[in-house]
Chains A and B, each alone.
Chain A
Amino acid sequence: MVAKTLYDKLFEAHVVTQRDDGSALIYIDRHIIHEVTSPQAFEGLRLAGRQPWRVGANFATLDHNVPTTPFKSAADIEDDTSRIQVQTLEENTRAFGIREFGIGDVRQGIVHVMAPEQGAVLPGMTVVCGDSHTSTNGALACLAHGIGTSEVEHVLATQCLVAKKMKNMQIRVDGDLGPGVTAKDVVLHIIGVIGTAGGTGYALEFAGSAIRSLSMEGRMTVCNMAIEAGARAGMVAVDDKTIDYCQGRPFSPTGEQWDAAVEYWRTLVSDEGAQFDAVVEINAADIKPQVSWGTSPEMVLPVDATLPDPTQESDAVKRAGMERAYEYMGLTPGMKISDIKVDRVFIGSCTNSRIEDLRAAAEVAKGKKKAASVKQVLVVPGSGLVKKQAEEEGLDKVFVEAGFEWREPGCSMCLAMNPDRLQPGEHCASTSNRNFEGRQGNGGRTHLVSPAMAAAAAVAGHFVDIRDC
C-alpha cells in the first residue's frame, strides 16, 4: 500500500469524479455561511431558479458586520449598508430553509469559532466558507479552505467544487516551547521563516511534538494563519485531543455512530513514510514571543529584536516593500520593538478569541490596569458560548477591572467593518491575523501578537517581553 499524507487521504475520500485534465469534482461536507460573501451567491441561485443541493450541509451565522455593543436585532444596526447585509442573510436563510445562528442566539459568533464549537465540522470532512480563514477548521483533521462567492453559489447548488489536488507540505515543529511562547508565536514564527507566499499551492500539515503539545484551540490558531503563509488549507492529524474535543458537541455523532466515527477518524494521520513535496523543520526552542512590525505578516520579529535595515536586503522587491512598510508604520530601522508604543489593543478575531486565549489575556491583566496612554482595549469573544464561559469563569470582571472593554461576539476590529476601528496613525497590539495597510481602519497600524503579549502591551503602553512579566 502506498503511504499517504493526511491531505491525500482527505482529498481522495471526497472525489466524486476524476477528470482527464487532473481536476476533480470533490464533495463538500460542510458549508459555513456569513453575511459578507453570500448575498450575491443567493442572488445567483434565485436568478437561475436553483435550490440548495443539501440544505443540512449549511450552517450560517453573522459576524463581520455585527456591532460588539449590546443590540437586540438587525434593525438596531446604525450603519445602513451593514444592516442591509445582515438582514439579507436573515432573509436568505429563511427563504432557503438554511440553519442560522442569528442575533440573540448564544451560538452566534465568528464563523470559524462557531463551526468547531458546534461540532458542525468534524474530522475527515471537507469544509468551505466564503472566507479565507476557513483553514482554522483544519485543526480537526479536515480539509478546510476559503472560497470566493462564485464557489459559494457552486457549493450551494451542487454540494461540490471543481478542484485540483494541491502539493503536500509538512511543517514540523519539534521540541518544547519555552514559557510565554504560544500557538500564535509558533505560527507567526513559521510565516517569518517561509514567507507569506511560502505555502502557495500547498496544503500544509503542521506536525511535530510542539504542535501535538498544543490544545485544540492552539492548533486552530496555527491553522487559522495557514492562509497568511500562502496556503489555502492547513491541518493537524487526529490524536486523542481531537477525539476528546469532538465528543459531546451538538452536531457530533453519539452511540454506535460515535464509535464508528472514532474508528475512522483514527486513520486520519499521515502514514509512516508518506512523501511530502516539501518539508520545513523548525526547532521549538528557537521560537520567542513574536511581534509584527510591518504591513505583511512575514514582517515579524521576536520581541527582543530591533527593526531590520532595508539597505541590508538584497532582493529589490522585498527592499521596496520594507521601505514602504516603514513609511506606513511610522517606524525607523534599528528601533527596538519594545520602544513601539501602542494606542489601542484588540484581543479577539478567529485567530485568538477562544476561551484559552481569553484566559491567557486575563492572567496577564489580573490585578493590573491598562496604561493611561492606551486609549482603548477591546476584548471580543469569538462566540456567544465563549462569552458565556468566560463570564462563568469571571474573566469579564478581570478585564473590566483592568480598564479593558468586554464586548459582544463578532469580528470587530479584526477588519473594522463594524464601528470598532483604529484612527489614522494609531498603533494597535492585535491578536488578529492581518497587518495589511488600513486593515483595522484607514491609516491604522497593526502589530500582530499573542493574547498574552497584547494584554501585557495594554498594561505597559508599549510592547514588552511576556517572559519578563
Chain B
Amino acid sequence: MDKFITHTGLVAPLDRANVDTDQIIPKQFLKSIKRTGFGPNLFDEWRYLDEGQPGQDNSKRPLNKDFVLNQPRYLGASVLLARRNFGCGSSREHAPWALQDFGFRAVLAPSFADIFFNNCFKNGMLPIVLPEDDIETLFQQVFAQEGYQLTVDLAEQVVVRPDGVKIPFEVDAFRKHCLLNGLDDIGLTLQESDAIRAYEASRQQREPWVFVQ
C-alpha cells in the first residue's frame, strides 16, 4: 500500500451533499477487472456531456465546462473538499481507486459513508472528517482564493490552512500506523495465524455446522 505521511495540494470544492458511489464512478466502468485506469471516468456523468463507455478515448468527449473539476483553476487538484455523507451507496472500491487515479490523495468532508471511508484507507488515501463549520469556512476560502492549497499532516493529525490555522482531526490509531508505514494489512493479519487457528478450533467445537466443506 502507498504511504501517506503529509501532503500539500490544490483544493477542489465539490459543493454537493450525499455524493454517492454511482456518481463517483458509474457502473459501466466497474466491468474492468483491473484496479487502475478509472481516473478519466471519475464523476463521469457530471464531467462529460455524453454518456461514457469503458475503453473510450475520453479526450474526444464533450466536457461539461460548469463542473468543478473542469474549471481551469482547479486543474491538478489533489485535495477534495466535499459535503456531508460523501461516498454513500455501494461498496465499490472502484470509487477510491478512481479518486486516487485522478490524483486525489485526501478527501475532507463533515461525514462519510462507512464503507467508502474504510476503503480509502486501503488505498493510501486519507478521508478526513472535520466539523461542518470548518468545512464551510474552507469552502468559502477556496471559492475566494484561486490556487488555494491545504496541507494534510497525518503524523500531527492536522489540516493546515494557507493562513496558518491548524484544524485537528481524529484518525484511528491502527489505520494511521498502516498509512504512515504503507503496511500490507494482509501480511499483518497473517502474523496472527496461530490465533486464527486456535479460534477456529474452538468454534469448530461449539458450532461445527459453520465449517462446511
Contact = CB atoms under 8 A, between A and B. Distances in A.
Interface of A: 16-17, 19, 21-23, 25, 27, 29, 36-37, 39-40, 43, 48, 50, 53-56, 64-65, 79, 81-82, 84-85, 88, 122, 124-125, 130-132, 134, 145-151, 153-154, 157-160, 162, 164, 196-197, 200-201, 227, 230-232, 251-253, 257, 261, 264, 296, 317-318, 320-321, 324, 415-417, 434, 436-439, 442-443
A230 B118 CA distance: 14
Nearest to B112: A200
B18 A264 contact: no
A196 B190 contact: no
B149 interface: no
Contacts of A124: 207
Query: Looking at chain B, what size class is its interface with the partner chain?
Result: 35 or more
Contacts of B111: 197, 200
A392 to B, nearest CB: 28
Given A88-B33, A146-B90, 19 more contacts: A22-B172, A25-B195, A27-B196, A29-B210, A54-B211, A56-B211, A85-B33, A148-B122, A150-B122, A151-B119, A158-B196, A162-B185, A197-B88, A232-B114, A251-B212, A261-B209, A320-B15, A321-B17, A434-B89
A85 B22 CA distance: 19
Interface stretch (B24-32, B66-74, B98-106, B154-162): B24-32
B64 interface: no
B93 interface: yes
A159 B196 contact: yes
A148 B93 contact: yes
Contacts of B27: 415-417
Nearest to A441: B51
A157 B115 contact: no
Nearest to B31: A81
Nearest to B184: A48
Given A158-B189, A162-B185, A257 B23 contact: no
Contact of B174 (A23, A232, A296, A318): A23
B173 to A, nearest CB: 4
Given A415-B27, A439-B22, A48 B186 contact: yes
A415 B94 CA distance: 15
B34 interface: yes
Interface string B30-58: 11111100000000010000010011000
Contacts of B122: 148, 150-151
A49 to B, nearest CB: 12
A40 B34 contact: yes
A6 to B, nearest CB: 16
| Closest A-B pairs by Cβ, 8 of them | A150-B122, A148-B93, A253-B209, A81-B31, A39-B33, A148-B119, A146-B91, A21-B173
B90 A131 contact: yes
Contact of B189 (A160, A164, A230, A296): A160
Contacts of A145: 115
B199 A16 contact: yes
Interface in B169-212: 172-174, 185-186, 189-190, 192, 195-196, 199-200, 203, 206-212
A16 B186 CA distance: 15
B45 to A, nearest CB: 5
B213 to A, nearest CB: 5
A159 B122 CA distance: 17
B192 A21 contact: no
Given A25-B195, A65-B31, A232-B114, A320 B16 contact: yes
B23 A200 contact: no
A21 B210 CA distance: 29
Contacts of A54: 200, 211
B16 A146 contact: no
Given A21-B173, A48-B186, A124-B207, A436 B23 contact: yes
Contacts of B85: 196-197, 200, 230
A65 B185 CA distance: 30
Contacts of B31: 36, 65, 79, 81-82, 84-85, 417
Contacts of A197: 18, 84-85, 88, 111, 113
Contacts of B92: 36-37, 148
A319 to B, nearest CB: 10
A200 B114 contact: yes
Contact of B89 (A25, A154, A157, A436): A436
A227 B113 CA distance: 9
A438 B26 contact: yes
A232 B33 contact: no
Contact of A148 (B22, B91, B208): B91
A85 B34 CA distance: 10
Nearest to A19: B174
A197 B87 CA distance: 11
